[in-house]
Amino acid sequence: MPVSPEKQSTLSTVEILSQGMVINVGPQHPSTHGVLRLILTLDGEQILHCEPVIGYLHRGLEKMMERRPYRHNIPFTDRLDYLAALSNNLGICQCIERLGGVEVPERAKYIRVLLMELQRIASHLVFLGTFGTDLGATTMFLYAFRERELVLDLLEECTGARLTYNWIRVGGVPDDLPDGFAEKVLAFVKVFRQRLKEYDQLLTRNRIFRSRTQNIGVLPKDLALAYGTSGPVLRASGVAYDIRKVDPYEVYDRVEFDVPVFDRGDVWARYLVRMEEMHQSLRIIEQVLRDMPDGPVQTKLPKIFKPPAGIAYSRVESPRGELSFMMVSDGSPNPVRVHIRAPSFVNLSVLPCLLEGAKVADLVAILGSIDVVLGEIDR
Amino acid sequence: MIAAVIQFFEQHPLLWTFVKAVVLASFTLMIPLAVIWIERKVAGFIQSRLGPLHVGPHGTLQTVADALKLLLKEDIVPDGADKRFFYIAPYIAFISTVLSFMVLPFAPGWVALEMNVAVLFVIGVSLFNVVSILMAGWSSNNKYSLLGGLRAVAQLLSYEIPMVLSVLAVVFYTGSLSLTEIVEYQVKHGWNIWHPPIMIAALIYFICALAEINRTPFDLPEAESELVSGFNTEYSGMRFAFFFASEFANNFFITAFAAALFFGGWDGPILPPIVWTFLKVFVMIFVFMWVRWTPPRLRIDQILRFAWQLLVPVSLVNLLFAIALGVK
């Protein structure tokens, strides 16, 4: 017998309505990397809905940059992605160089690439360490930070700082490499190759680790492209897109390296991409040290730098993905408009899709595998 | 003099019981201090760092200092908490641990209460621990604590079954429920661990023990990264210390229990029996810590699947073997 519409409506109210439990994760929470807040709706251990809330670290950097001469803006970029400050320095310097038509000496280009890859290793080690802790492998954290210390020592010797380097300049780098730096870097490369094997033994081959990462948080290729993700997140979804290859800057077209790509699109693939990238960075470092020419490291620029009116856009492959700067000049000493395309911001936007239907315990694995830095999301 | 003391206590059995209870409770409180210090040192060793160094020689007094700090801290009770349950939950956890220590034979004659159903008793009182965790998780009125509490109960109950089955294998094999008798049987016939069905039972016991004391890879109930330490999030000061102490005392107990069941308890050459007991316990505790600081943690559904689909059937079949091969 067909049920009348009225009857149907009364029937449907009989259904037991189960409301999800709303749980607030962050901004102070041990597993949100930085001041990220997630409002989760849970059904038991299952995540029904996730709403990221950002902006706790907003400083208005883009606006602040418009009030200062071009070269005074470089220190601001240290505070964007504070785990890869040199990549940001390079990003803004490239943009200003493009705007003003500044040529960079050969040696400076090689030094930049060398520092970029050291920075990439340092950043990926933070990912590795925190990712391990998120999954309960606390020892991984200390191992990764032990090696990061070696990189930071190198960078400190070269730049004088350990976190906010502020070391790339428009038209080159401020100073040549210190004496004996190449030998020290090569010694590190040798040690680090061994340590990477150690990580593989501790984590990559671990059954528990695999069962926690494989087929978790799968990001399909089309979704990854639709959201505009970049960096390891995109490459783990099967798209071979690396700015160092598709739009080579500095001397990346002169060094040999592979872009690791995995098709799985899960947490495991994102982990593998980063592990493999560290191997490739070591390769690049060796080649750069071998081929580095002698010569000046900086181009002379006028005291008051006024690029001609126009727009410049430049992009670099930061450890997190495609980092771009856009600057508009009207011929005055200050930029008129600055925009930063932060890779973490775009990558984070897929998080709600990945979390829907996942378990609470997978939240930390998925969030960790996207590897966001809130400094550049909130700007 | 000693004879006079013994005679005095024989005339006042209630007083003697009281003395034993006090000694046992203080022992249960002291053990965590040692175990936590060892844990820190082992963790430091595994993670290529030093661990505590400055308070006392080699940092031995660090845990004492921490305990004192916890003692002096404010006892915070959340406004929305169910106060009665919130207050008593840590004590229930601690009492369940003290009670299980009661029947543990440290050496011949060194047992607070000689009980002919000691194994059954231990299994019974250790379940109080589950109750206390659920109480703590529920009464805190905190969603993280609730999730942690629920996880803990699901996990502990699931692993209790294969654990009991593997203990039962020993019971059937040796034909006794008394821990002292089980050890004495092993003194005569060799350690249980060398007999095939008990070997498998010991393996299952080891896995379940990891889960029972919430250790990696089964440390979900207090998964720091996702649940902010789970059921004890809202606890501070001494109440937290009681949870913490009972966890580490449990760690000691579960290995001492294993030593009695599988490794011949106090049995061993040259050294006095009490030293052998402690030696076996601390070797096992070291193995536990080794495991804790190496692999990542599993997910709750993976943990439960592992218990029900693998451990329970295997331990059931193993129990049949133990019954078939055991003493009649």
Tens digit of each residue's pLDDT (9 = 90 or more) over A126-145: 998 888 888 878 888 888 99
Q: Identify the structural domains of chain A with CATH numbers, from first to last.
A: 21-378 (1.10.645.10)
A215 at B interface, C-beta within 8 A? no
Interchain CB distance below 8 Å, A208 and B147: no
pLDDT value at A352 more than 60: yes
Predicted local distance difference test score (pLDDT) of residue A30: 65
B interface mutation test: which of A19, A139, A205 has the most B CBs within 10 A?
A139
pLDDT in tens, A238-250: 888 888 888 888 8
Q: Using an 8 Å Cβ cutoff, are B244 and B63 in contact?
A: no
What mean pLDDT comes out for the span A16-21?
Answer: 67
* Alpha-carbon distance B79 to nearest alpha carbon in chain A (angstroms): 18
Give the CA dihedral A223, A225, A226, A230, nearest 10 degrees. 110
pLDDT value at A330 more than 60: yes
Interchain CB distance below 8 Å, B300 and A142: no
A349 at B interface, C-beta within 8 A? no
* Alpha-carbon distance B42 to nearest alpha carbon in chain A (angstroms): 12
What mean pLDDT comes out for the span B81-91?
Answer: 86
Closest chain B CA to residue A364: B226
**Which structure tokens are listed for B153?**
């109960």
A206 at B interface, C-beta within 8 A? yes
Strand partners, A329: A310
pLDDT value at B113 more than 80: no
Predicted local distance difference test score (pLDDT) of residue A125: 92
Count Cα atoms within 13 angstroms, Cβ side, for A101.
Answer: 5
Interchain CB distance below 8 Å, A362 and B299: yes
Confidence category of residue B22, pLDDT binned at 50, 70, 90:
confident
Interchain CB distance below 8 Å, A137 and B296: yes
Q: Using an 8 Å Cβ cutoff, are A65 and A335 in contact?
A: yes
Strand partners, B272: none
Interchain CB distance below 8 Å, B226 and A143: no
A133 at B interface, C-beta within 8 A? yes
Predicted local distance difference test score (pLDDT) of residue A15: 54
pLDDT value at A25 more than 70: yes
Count Cα atoms within 13 angstroms, Cβ side, for B64.
Answer: 9
pLDDT in tens, B171-228: 888 888 888 888 888 888 888 888 877 888 888 898 888 888 777 777 766 665 566 6
For helices B13-46 and B237-262, the axis angle rounded to 10 degrees is: 90
Interchain CB distance below 8 Å, A203 and B296: yes
- Which chain B residues are within 8 Å of A45, Cβ to Cβ? 147, 151, 300-301
A191 at B interface, C-beta within 8 A? no
- Helix/strand/coil for A37: strand
- Which chain A residues are within 8 Å of B224, Cβ to Cβ? 30, 136
**Helix intervals (H) in chain B:** 2-11, 13-46, 62-72, 83-102, 118-126, 128-139, 143-174, 179-189, 196-212, 224-227, 237-262, 273-292, 300-305, 312-325
Residue A180, classified by CB atoms within 10 Å of its CB into exposed (0-12), middle (13-18) or buried (19+), is: exposed
CA of A130: how far to CAs of A136, A201, A204, in Å?
10, 18, 15
- Which chain B residues are within 8 Å of A21, Cβ to Cβ? 143
Of A29, A146, A211, Cβ closest to residue B302: A211
- Which chain B residues are within 8 Å of A144, Cβ to Cβ? none
Residue B181, classified by CB atoms within 10 Å of its CB into exposed (0-12), middle (13-18) or buried (19+), is: middle
In the block, residue with structure tokens 């069941």: B261
Residue B11, classified by CB atoms within 10 Å of its CB into exposed (0-12), middle (13-18) or buried (19+), is: exposed
Q: Using an 8 Å Cβ cutoff, are A171 and A102 in contact?
A: yes
Of A45, A136, A362, Cβ closest to residue B219: A136
Percent of chain A with pLDDT over 70: 94
Domain ranges of chain B: 70-325
- Which chain A residues are within 8 Å of B226, Cβ to Cβ? 31, 134, 360-361, 363-364
A357 at B interface, C-beta within 8 A? no
Mean pLDDT of chain A: 85
Predicted local distance difference test score (pLDDT) of residue A124: 92
B303 at A interface, C-beta within 8 A? no
Residue B111, classified by CB atoms within 10 Å of its CB into exposed (0-12), middle (13-18) or buried (19+), is: buried
What are the phi and psi torsion angles at B294 (to 5°)?
Answer: -105, -65
Interchain CB distance below 8 Å, A137 and B220: no
Q: Work out the angle at residue B231's Cα, subtended by the Cα atoms of residues B123 and A133, and round it to the nearest 5 degrees.
A: 105
Please give the residue that has the higher pLDDT: either A18 or B266.
B266
Predicted local distance difference test score (pLDDT) of residue A5: 53
Comparing A40-44, A289-293, B82-86, the range with the smallest average pLDDT is: A40-44
CA of A255: how far to CAs of A114, A191, A244, B208, in Å?
11, 22, 10, 53
- Which chain A residues are within 8 Å of B217, Cβ to Cβ? 136, 208
CA B155 to chain centre: 15
Confidence category of residue B160, pLDDT binned at 50, 70, 90:
confident
pLDDT value at A1 more than 50: no
Predicted local distance difference test score (pLDDT) of residue A172: 85
pLDDT in tens, B235-289: 888 888 888 888 888 888 889 888 888 888 888 788 888 888 888 888 988 888 8
Interchain CB distance below 8 Å, A209 and B295: yes
What mean pLDDT comes out for the span B84-101?
Answer: 87
pLDDT in tens, B40-58: 888 888 888 888 888 888 8
A134 at B interface, C-beta within 8 A? yes
Interchain CB distance below 8 Å, A30 and B228: yes
pLDDT in tens, A68-78: 888 888 888 88
